[in-house]
Amino acid sequence: MQKDLVVKGGPGEQDFKDHFSRQADGYARYRPTYPPELFRYLASLVDSPAVCWDCATGNGQAAVALAEYFPQVIASDASEAQIAEATAQPGVSYRVAKAENSGLDPESVDLVTVGQAFHWFDSAAFFAEAKRVLHPAGVLAIWCYEVCEVSADCDAIINRLYRDIVGEFWPPERAMIEQGYAGIEMPGLPVAAPSFDMSLDWTAADMLGYLRTWSAVKHYEAAHGSDPVAQIEAPLRDAWGPARRRVSWPLKLKISRPNTLLE
């Protein structure tokens, strides 16, 4: 696995909002995985898939899946800790770089992907960077997912953690996810996106591990010196039971061809 260290931003630029480096190992272990159909569909939008840029790659799960369709996947993240935990895969090169300043060559990329991270970006600067690095017919795809769905009793407990216990610790950018990226105007020619869901069969321990990766949980811990997930652990284990349960996250996907004019 190639991990290149590149300069994050330029003179006068602010550091990025790092909500995730402290839990990078938990992200690698507990984050839900995207459905293979998502990447098959995205690759189908490109005539001759060659190079993909997976921006804000996190633990590299999207980059690894995209490597099945693209001979070269460049996976970047502004967090060195996330890159350190990323999954090695032939054809995937990792680098530390901000979304708005990738260091990639102009018109060198066929597809740009951003999973569960666009809301942290300077959107205008990132769109300009995506247009710069994409081929004239290149594709930009961004997606997000909201709070997971399990069952009525488990969902009520998880939502109590999400809203009542750590709600004040979610950064304001979280509102964009709650809206399913509905207010985002993609540059260039929009592409109609089908629906995709993520799903996993998890134990209660898996779910508790996942909840502890939430950025708001980490902010709560820093402020109060205690683990907020512990407040709902016992009732969640009771409601969950000993068996595995199906956990689902509906994906909200937006796609466009930024360098193609509106028809």
Q: What is the pLDDT of residues 30-47, one digit of tens each?
A: 778 899 999 999 999 999
Largest interatomic CA distance in the chain: 56
CA distances from 37 to 32, 133, 195 (A): 15, 25, 10
> Using CA atoms, how far apart are residues 33 and 230, in angstroms rounded to an integer?
25
Could you tell me how many residues make up the chain? 263
Please state, as a whole number, how many other Cβ atoms lie within 10 Å of the Cβ of residue 183.
Answer: 8
Domains of the chain: 2-148+175-198+250-257 (3.40.50.150)
Q: Per-residue pLDDT tens for 162-187?
A: 999 999 999 999 999 999 999 999 99
> CB–CB of 120/17 below 8 Å?
yes
Q: How far is CA 5 from CA 81, 89, 173, in A?
A: 12, 18, 27
The predicted model scores a pTM of 0.84
